[in-house]
Chain A
Amino acid sequence: MRRISPLERLRLFGRAGIDVVATLGRSVLFLVSALCGRSRAGKPLQLLIKQLFAVGVMSLAIIVVSGIFIGMVLALQGYNILVSYGSEQAVGQMVALTLLRELGPVVTALLFAGRAGSALTAEIGNMKSTEQLSSLEMIGVDPLKYIVAPRLWAGFISMPLLAMIFCVVGIWGAAMVAVDWLGVYEGSFWANMQNSVSFYDDVLNGVIKSIVFAFVVTWIAVFQGYDCEPTSEGISRATTRTVVYASLAVLGLDFILTALMFGDF
């Protein structure tokens, strides 16, 4: 095995740092080029609708099923704790606040990164490796406008909607467990929720979070596909990077946004 001198190690470390900065720069230019200006080819609305179906509608199943189960688990766990204080009527309030403020946007973003994000990376990476992107360029069509932009907009639009659906079905799942199964009084369940959930502080902040996550996750997914090495190994590495980077970015940003929105300073 080749031995690496300390100087060579330092050089490789520096090289890696330069590569990271260069990739960040490329990703910003990529985003600006894709979103600014109008596409001169194809019908943008049709392309967007097609992608909204692929990215949003096709993610509905995983979002709805996960939402119901997470809501049910939250209700069950919450009930077990609250019942010992005689406050089981507050389970609706607890579930709604948890879902709207945190779990709705965050879990939707993580599921979206795994389902739609990885698919976007693999699809664009495959287009690159089979020279479809080069082919578009040679036909005189900008792939940034024709392929990338509709996918970016579809992600930006669909993820906040998916997060809202996640919260709604989560609350519905919680009501099934708490009210129908565990016998919490229905009036208290919904009234407590209604009294404690603020539209601006809870609902709107949750939507803002999901918009930020949508932007970051879709950007990472599409860029990784476009920038990947055009081989099967390259595509598989890029897909892994999408899920890892997007998940870390979502969790990191969630802390920052939570501190800004709900932090007392």
Chain B
Amino acid sequence: MSAEHEYAIELQGVSFQRGARSIFDKVDIRIPRGKVTGIMGPSGCGKTTLLRLIAAELRPSAGDVRVAGVSLPKLSRDELFDMRKQMGVLFQSGALFTDLDVFENVAFPLRVHTQLPEEMIRDIVLMKLQAVGLRGALELMPDELSGGMKRRVALARAIALDPQILLYDEPFVGQDPIAMGVLVRLIRLLNDALGITSVVVSHDLAETASIADYLYVVGDAQVLGQGTPAELMESDNPRIRQFMKGIPDGPVPFHFPAPDYREDLLGRG
């Protein structure tokens, strides 16, 4: 299998800066096609930024982001919008349109991008909602849904156009165990049933490791490590060990940098 077919997404030497701060420095990431890939790392390390670079919502300062072999930074705005029809994104908040009910939220991509008759749109929406277990909630408004239900509706909307790639931004944050279990199952199930490529950006180790075929751990503007969940659990790298085992102090220090504690206490007055 050629590299072009093996990888759905490739980040080649990608750098990204916000002001003077370097978020990523010449990062190389390759996301295998048809698999669930987890991108993990401590809070604030730039995981969501990475997702936005893949979705071309942000442009890298240097390097290339290729999706299905197409270089995203070189696309015009209109070409980018066409390209995004092949991608679905599940945002952390769900990002449902608050003025539309569940049915219209899921139907939205179909209405704006297709000329399908109303009956067919209804059938597709019902199928997508059935897949996430919320066919019975089609008349509810977003503010009547729980956090977990919002994400499931958003997931139904994200797969409405049958995308090739699904990107998940912190899908497990703030979920109760049942909702989390449902989401974990859905991500794996949809990936396998629809044959899509899934990228899960998360810091929830157990859930992500349980469904991911491959993991990247990012931090310090670099890829700290990569491999299967089992390989990373056995890693000798102290940064990866600290993250994978949840050790409170280590290369990522417990204390924010500060002057000497003794001097700070005695030096006053």
Contact = CB atoms under 8 A, between A and B. Distances in A.
Contact of B87 (A41, A134, A138): A138
Given A140-B81, A141-B81, A130 B88 contact: no
Contacts of A130: 93, 95, 98
A44 B151 CA distance: 29
Interface residues of A, number: 14
Contacts of B268: none
A138 B82 CA distance: 10
Contacts of B57: 134, 137-138
B216 to A, nearest CB: 21
Contact of A142 (B55, B81, B108): B81
Interface string B148-167: 00000010010000000000
Given A41-B113, A141-B112, A135 B95 contact: yes
Contact of B95 (A42, A131, A141): A131
B88 A138 contact: yes
A138 B55 contact: yes
Contact of B97 (A132, A138, A140): A132
Given A41-B112, A42-B112, A130-B98, A138 B92 contact: no
Interface in A123-172: 130-132, 134-135, 137-142
Given A41-B112, A142-B77, A131 B92 contact: yes
Contact of B113 (A131, A135, A140): A140
Contacts of B91: 131, 134-135
Given A138-B55, A138-B89, A140-B84, A132 B112 contact: no
A132 B95 contact: yes
B26 interface: no
Contacts of A140: 81-82, 84-85, 109, 112-113
A134 B87 CA distance: 13
Secondary structure of the A contact surface, majority rule: loop
Interface in B85-136: 85, 87-89, 91-93, 95-98, 108-109, 111-113
Contacts of B55: 138
A138 B77 CA distance: 12
Contacts of B87: 138
A259 to B, nearest CB: 41
B189 to A, nearest CB: 22
A40 B92 CA distance: 27
Interface in A78-96: none
A142 B57 CA distance: 12
B98 A139 contact: no
A33 B214 CA distance: 40
A142 B96 CA distance: 16
Contacts of A131: 91-93, 95
Contacts of B109: 139-140
A132 B142 CA distance: 12
B236 to A, nearest CB: 38
Given A42-B112, A142-B77, A137 B84 contact: yes
A137 B95 CA distance: 12
Given A42-B112, A141-B112, A134 B95 contact: yes
Interface string A15-40: 00000000000000000000000001
B143 to A, nearest CB: 11
5 contacts: A132-B98, A137-B81, A138-B57, A140-B113, A141-B112
Interface of A: 40-42, 130-132, 134-135, 137-142
Interface of B: 55, 57, 77-78, 81-82, 84-85, 87-89, 91-93, 95-98, 108-109, 111-113, 154, 157
The 7 closest A-B pairs by CB, nearest first: A135-B95, A131-B95, A41-B112, A138-B89, A140-B81, A131-B91, A140-B84
